[in-house]
Amino acid sequence: MVVPRIVPSMKIGEIRDLIRMKPLELDATRRRLSACHDIDDLRSAGRRLIPRPVFDYVDGGSEEEVCLATNRDAFQRRRFRPRALAGVATVDTAARVLGEGLPFPLLLGPTGYTRMMHPGGEIAAARAAHRRGLPYTLSTMATTSIEDLRRAVPGAELWFQLYVMRDTGLNKELVTRAAESGYRVLMITVDTVVPGHRTRDEHNGLVIPPALTAGTLAGIAVRPGYWMRMLRNPAIEFAHIPGKAKTISGSISLFDPSITWDTVADLRTLWPGKLVLKGPLSPADARRAISAGADGIVLSNHGGRQLDRAVAPIDLVAEVRSALGPEASILVDSGIRHGADIAVALACGADAAAIGRAYLYGLMAGGEPGVDKTLALLTSQFIRTLQLLGMRSADELRAVGQDIFQHP
Ligand X SMILES: Cc1cc2nc3c(=O)[nH]c(=O)nc-3n(C[C@H](O)[C@H](O)[C@H](O)COP(=O)(O)O)c2cc1C
Q: What is the CA radius of gyration of the chain?
A: 23
Q: What single-letter amino acid sits at 376?
A: A
Contact map string, positions 239 to 278, toward ligand X, x by CB under 6 A: ---------------------------------------x
Cβ pair 324, 357 in contact under 8 A: no
Distance, CA of 106 to CA of 96 (rounded, Å): 10
374 contacts ligand X (rule: CB under 6 A): no
Phi, psi of 298 (to 5 degrees): -110, 110
First-to-last alpha carbon distance for the chain, in angstroms, is 62
Q: Which of residues 184-223 bind ligand X (CB under 6 A)?
A: 189
Measured CA to CA in angstroms, residue 203 lies from 50, 136, 212, 254 at distances of 17, 31, 17, 24
112 contacts ligand X (rule: CB under 6 A): yes
317 contacts ligand X (rule: CB under 6 A): no
338 contacts ligand X (rule: CB under 6 A): no
- Burial label for 169, CB within 10 Å (0-12, 13-18, 19+), is exposed
| Residue 192, CA atoms < 13 Å, CB-side half-sphere | 29
335 contacts ligand X (rule: CB under 6 A): yes
Count the neighbouring beta carbons within 10 Å of the beta carbon of residue 56.
18
Tell me how long the chain is: 408
Q: What single-letter amino acid sits at 238?
A: F
Residue 115 or 305 having the CB closest to ligand X: 305
The β-bridge partners of 95 are 102
The β-bridge partners of 392 are none
139 contacts ligand X (rule: CB under 6 A): yes
> Which range in 93-101, 105-113, 243-251, 321-329 contacts ligand X by CB under 6 A?
105-113
- Identify the helix (H) or strand (E) that includes residue 285: helix 283-291
The three-class DSSP label of residue 352 is strand
Taking the complex as a whole, the smallest distance from the CB of residue 203 to ligand X amounts, in Å, to 17
115 contacts ligand X (rule: CB under 6 A): no
Taking the complex as a whole, the smallest distance from the CB of residue 108 to ligand X amounts, in Å, to 9
Taking the complex as a whole, the smallest distance from the CB of residue 46 to ligand X amounts, in Å, to 12
Taking the complex as a whole, the smallest distance from the CB of residue 263 to ligand X amounts, in Å, to 16
58 contacts ligand X (rule: CB under 6 A): yes
Cβ pair 75, 341 in contact under 8 A: yes
302 contacts ligand X (rule: CB under 6 A): yes
Q: Which of 303, 339, 366, 390 binds ligand X (CB under 6 A)?
A: 303
365 contacts ligand X (rule: CB under 6 A): no
> Which range in 178-186, 251-259, 332-340, 385-393 contacts ligand X by CB under 6 A?
332-340
281 contacts ligand X (rule: CB under 6 A): no
Distance, CA of 222 to CA of 225 (rounded, Å): 9
Taking the complex as a whole, the smallest distance from the CB of residue 304 to ligand X amounts, in Å, to 7
Q: Which of 198, 357, 373, 398 binds ligand X (CB under 6 A)?
A: 357
Count the neighbouring beta carbons within 10 Å of the beta carbon of residue 285.
16
Q: Let me know if 302 is a catalytic residue.
A: yes
| Residue 389, CA atoms < 13 Å, CB-side half-sphere | 30
Q: Which of 46, 51, 105, 109 binds ligand X (CB under 6 A)?
A: 109
Catalytic residue among 130, 240, 302, 338: 302
Distance, CA of 66 to CA of 304 (rounded, Å): 8
Q: Which of residues 64-93 bind ligand X (CB under 6 A)?
A: 71
Residue 107 or 404 having the CB closest to ligand X: 107
Contact map string, positions 24 to 43, toward ligand X, x by CB under 6 A: --------------------
- Compute the C-alpha angle 375/381/382, nearest 5°: 90
Cβ pair 298, 279 in contact under 8 A: yes
Residue 300 or 385 having the CB closest to ligand X: 300
Distance, CA of 27 to CA of 16 (rounded, Å): 24
Taking the complex as a whole, the smallest distance from the CB of residue 191 to ligand X amounts, in Å, to 8
Q: What single-letter amino acid sits at 110?
A: P
Taking the complex as a whole, the smallest distance from the CB of residue 349 to ligand X amounts, in Å, to 19
Taking the complex as a whole, the smallest distance from the CB of residue 354 to ligand X amounts, in Å, to 7
Q: Which of 62, 70, 111, 204 binds ligand X (CB under 6 A)?
A: 111
122 contacts ligand X (rule: CB under 6 A): no
By CB under 6 A, name the binding residues for ligand X. Answer: 57-58, 71, 109-112, 139, 141, 161, 189, 278, 300, 302-303, 305, 333-336, 355-358, 360
Residues labelled as active-site residues: 302
